[in-house]
Structure 1
Amino acid sequence: MISYCTNVHPAEDVDGIVAQLERYALPVRERLGADRLGVGLWLSAPVARGLADDATARKRFRAELDARGLAVYTLNAFPYGGFHDEVVKQAVYRPTWTSKERAAYTIDCVTVLADLLAADASYGSISTLPLAWREPWTEHDDRRAAEAFDQVVQAIRSTGERPIRLAVEPEPGCVLDTVADALGWLAGRVDPEYVGLCLDTCHLAVSFADPAETLAAIAKSGVDVVKVQASAALHVEKPAEAREALAAFAEPRYLHQVRELGADGVVHQSDDLPEAWADLPGEGPWRVHFHMPLHQEPAAPLSTTTDVLSAVAAGLPGEPHVEVETYTWSVLPDAGDLVGGIAAELEWARDNLVREGVSA
C-alpha cells in the first residue's frame, strides 16, 4: 500500500496527531474513495517515548487509527522533533547516530510500530537519517554509529514474529550523501536482515545519479531497498533564466541543497538555495532539494524530476514500502488546499507508479 508521510503535519503530541489525522487523513481517504489509507507516521521523540512506555496508550492510538481506516506500515524517524519550527535547516540532522538519544528514539519507534503495524503487513519499516551532516565526522564516529545500529537491531529482534527493518536515507550534504555512500557504509557494518536503504527519489535526482545504474548497484550490494520515499526535486535547465522563479523557493525553514551538473559530468554543490548563486557556475542544469508535489508541474522555466521517480518504480526489486513524502506544503508558493493536494498526489502515485509494479 502507498502511504503518505504525516511529517507534513506539525503536531507533536498524541491528541494533536489524532486531531490532524481527523482533519486531513480521513478526508483524504474519503476523497480517494478508499476503505483504507496508508499513513507513514512521524512521531516526535517525546511522543514516541510516551507511547513506548505505555502499552495502553499504544492500544488507544491503534484504535483511533483503525476507526478512521488508517493503516500503518512505516514510520519516519528522521526528524527527532521541531520539524515545523520557524527555522529547521541543519537541526534536522540532530541528534546524530553517534548519540544515545538517536538510538533511544529509534528503539522507541520500534516498540510503537510493533503494536501499530497493519494486520496485512509482512514487515514494518522505519526510515532514519544518513548518520549526520557531513562534518564533523570521524572514524570514531563511524564506530559509534555502527554500535548504535547494533543496539537498535537487538531491540528489533525482541519485537515478535513480523520483522521491523531500519531504512537509512542518504541525502545530499550528509555523511551518506549518495546511494553509493550508503551502500559502502552499510556493507559489513550492519545486519542486512534488519537494516537496509530508504531510497528517496528527490535526493537521488538531486545527486544526478542514473536511476538504472543506481538500482543495479543496489542489487549487486546485497543491501535491500526497505522503503522508497516517492518524491520529486525541482529541476532548472538554465539557472540564469530562472532567478526570479527560484527566488520563490528560497525560504527560511528547510535546507534546500542544490547540485549543478557540469558539461564534463562533474556535479557541483551548494548547501542551500540562497547560497547557490555564489557557490555554483550557473552554466549547467540545477536540481534543488525541494520536495515538489508529484501531480503538479511548475510554470516554465521550472520543472520537476518525476521521471526519476517513475524510472525507479519501473526497476524496483522486491516490494518495498512506498511513502509519498512532500513535507514542504507549508512553504510552497501558492500551495492551495492540503487535503486536495495530498489526495491528488496519491492519485498520481496510484496512476503512475502502480502500473510500474509498485503495490497499491
Structure 2
Amino acid sequence: MRLRHPSGRIVHLTCGVSLSEALTPADAFTTLEAAAAALRAGLSGTSGTLGIALRLSHPLAAALVDDGRARTRLRAELDRHGLEVVTLSGGPDAEGGGAPPVQAEATQAETTQAGIESSGTPQVPAGSSGTPSAPIAPLPDWSEPARLQHTLALARILVDMLPDEEVRGAISTCGLGRREDWDEAHERDGARHLRRLSGGLADLAWRVGRAVRCGFRPEPGYVLDTPEQTVTALTKVDKDRLGVCLDLTRVALDWPAPLDGIDRLTDAGLSVITVRITDPAVAWQPLLRHLLAADTARTEYIEIDTAGPGAADLTYVLEQLTSLGLVPEHEPCTAP
C-alpha cells in the first residue's frame, strides 16, 4: 500500500509474507498461493493491490537468481494475486528461525541432529516436494562471502519483482554478526564484504536502472546493538546504499532512550531504510511518529508482521499513519 507523506515522499506499508520453507521455485509458487489466500482472508476489508515484504530462504534465492524464467513466473504470480514487492528480507528470520545469539550453539546442535549439513543444504525426505522437514541452517555472518553472495542475489531478484513504475527497493540483513565472535579478523573481512556489497549494488543500479538499498538490523548480542555501537560499526560504509533496518519492537524494549537513539543514527548520516512492527502490544507508535514527523519522512518502508491478527494490525497502523497526514498515493495530502 503506497501512502504519500506531507513532504511528498511515498511511504510503502507492507505485510510480511514468508517463503522461507520453500527451497525451489516450484515450492515458492505453491507457498505463495496459500500465503496470498491467507493474507486476503485476514484482510477481508482491504481491496486492491497489497504490498508485501517477502522473506526468501537462501536455497530459493540461489535458485531464483540463476533462473530468469522462474523470476518472471514469480512476478506473474504476484500480479495475479494483486500483490507487489518492494522489499525482501535477508535477515535470520528468513533463514529458518532466526534464533538469538545466546541460542546459537543449541540451534546448531539441533540442526546437526536433524541431518542438516554445515553447508546449509537441508536433507529432504524421499518423495518430498522439496519442503524441508527441519529448519534451514542459517547463513554465516558478514565475515563470510556467503552472506555477501546471498544479499546480492536478493538484490538481483528484487529488481525483477519491483512494480513497473518503481525505480528502487530495499533489502534487510542481520546486524553483521555476533559480538562475541567479532574479532579483528572478522571485522576486517566484514568491512571488505560491505565494500563489495556497495560496489555490487552500484553495478546493479547502473545495469538495470533500478536502485536497491540494504538495511542492517540492530539486535541484542550482535555487533549492531545499541545506537552507539551501530554508528561506530557503520561509520565508514557507503551511506547512499547502506543503512539500518529497525525492528520498532526491539528498539522500544531494548534501547534506554529510543527517540534519542533514532536521532543518533540519522544525525550520523545513517538512513533508516526500513522499519518493522513485530509486536502490536509494544508501544511502537511514538517511534513511528518520530520517524514520520510532518516536515520529513525518515523511512520509506514499513513492514507489519502478519503472524498474528494481520487485519487488526494493518487497520490500526493505517489509522496511525493517517493521523500523521499520510494519505493514499493519488490523494492530496493535508496537514495533520
The residue that corresponds to 1:185 in the other structure is 233
- Using the alignment, how far apart are the partners of 1:218 and 1:84 within structure 2? 24
Q: Which amino acid aligns with 2:305?
A: E
Question: Are 1:128 and 2:128 matched, yes or no?
Answer: no
What pairs with 1:230-309 in structure 2 (closer than 5 Å)? 230-231=277-278, 292=279, 294=280, 297=281, 304-309=282-287
1:81-128 deviation line (CA, Å, top 9, x unaligned): 32389xx94358741101111111111111101111123434210100
RMSD across aligned positions (CA): 2.6
Measure how far apart 1:310 and its partner are.
Answer: 3.9
In the alignment, does 2:214 pair up with 1:200? no
The 2-side partners of 1:81 and 1:93 are apart by 5
Structure 2 residue 76 is the aligned partner of structure 1 residue 52: no
Residue among 268, 286, 293 paired with 1:221 = 268
Deviations 1:246-293 (A, max 9, x none): xxxxxxxxxxxxxxxxxxxxxxxxxxxxxxxxxxxxxxxxxxxxxx2x
Q: CA deviation at 1:359?
A: 6.8
Pairing 1:166–2:214 present = yes
Q: What is the one-letter code of the residue matched to 1:126?
A: I
Aligned-partner residue type, residue 116 of structure 1: M
Q: Which residue of 1 aligns with 2:83?
A: 70
Q: Which residue of 1 aligns with 2:300?
A: 320
Give a deviation string over 1:9-55, Cα, whole Å, max 9, x none.
64443333333332233453461422111111111111000110111
Q: Which amino acid aligns with 2:276?
A: Q
Q: Which moved more, 1:112-121 or 1:46-55?
A: 112-121
In 2, distance between residues paired with 1:18 and 1:209?
43
Relative to the length of structure 1, the TM-score reads: 0.69
In the superposition, relative to structure 1, how do residues 217 and 347 fare at CA in structure 2: closer, same or farther (>3 Å)? same
Matches within 5 A, 1:2-81: 2-7=13-18, 10-29=21-40, 31-79=44-92, 81=95
Check the 8 A contact 2:19/2:28 in 1, yes or no: no
Aligned length: 276
Distance 2:98 2:258 in 1: 31
Taking the aligned partners of 1:319 and 1:133, their CA distance within structure 2 comes to 26
TM-score when normalising by structure 2: 0.74
Deviations 1:146-196 (A, max 9, x none): 1111222222122222210010110111111123321221111x1111101
CA distance 1:125–1:46, shift in 2 (3 Å): same
Confirm or deny that 1:175 pairs with 2:223: yes
Aligned position for 1:102:
147
Paired AA for residue 140 in structure 1 = A
Where in structure 2 are there 5+ consecutive unaligned residues? 1-11, 108-136, 329-336
Contact 1:93 1:133 in 2 (8 A): no
Q: Secondary structure at the match of 1:41?
A: strand
Deviation string, structure 1 residues 45-84 (Cα, Å, up to 9, x no partner): 1100011011111111110111111110100001263238
Query: Partner of 1:82 in structure 2?
Result: 96
**Equivalent residue, structure 1, for 2:130:** none
Amino acid at match of 1:345: D
**Cα distance between partner residues in 2 of 1:84 and 1:204:** 17
- Between 89-98 and 202-211, report the one with greater CA deviation: 89-98
- State the identity %: 29
- Unaligned stretches of 5+ residues in structure 1: 232-291, 298-303, 330-337
Q: Which amino acid aligns with 2:173?
A: T
Q: Secondary structure at the match of 1:40?
A: strand
